[in-house]
Amino acid sequence: MNFRRRTRVETDINLTPLIDVVFLLLIFFMVSTTFTRETQLKVDLPESVSGEYADASVQQIEVLISVSGEVAINGKTLVNPGLDSIRAALVREAGSDRSLPVVITADANTPHQAVITAMDAAGQEGFSRLRLTTNEMEQPAP
């Protein structure tokens, strides 16, 4: 009996198409991903014993001033925190409604001049309802 040995057929897996698909998926996810940049300023509020709670449901303009003097109005940071740019941003946010309350939230260690500049800009543009944000001071137990 003459048994012939079968020739072995080598099977290879071609990885080139797999690598192409992986790179296409990588490019797709890189292009479709949105990166959020945190634009909010960190503020450590001053404390106060007296004060009133403001109604947060009312439409208002929030001016946020950081310890370094950076200013953000309704979450949009201003490049130049000068008087003219604050005035322009307030006008842009309010439109023609000058009866909106302007809430100034300043860090406890913010230079006083930055707060006065924001208040002055609001006053020059006709805003008469100004509020300052504070934390409630804890009173010692008797």
pLDDT at 55 over 70: no
- Residue-wise over 44-58: b if at least 16 C-beta within 10 A, else e? eeeeeeeeeeeeeee
Do 98 and 130 form a contact (C-beta atoms < 8 A)? no
Average pLDDT, the chain: 81
Domain assignments of the chain as residue spans, ordered by start:
42-49+57-135
Question: 42-49+57-135 in CATH: which number?
Answer: 3.30.420.270
pLDDT in tens, 60-90: 888 888 888 888 888 888 888 888 899 999 8
Least confident of 25-29, 38-42, 80-84, 116-120: 38-42
For residue 57, what pLDDT is reported?
66
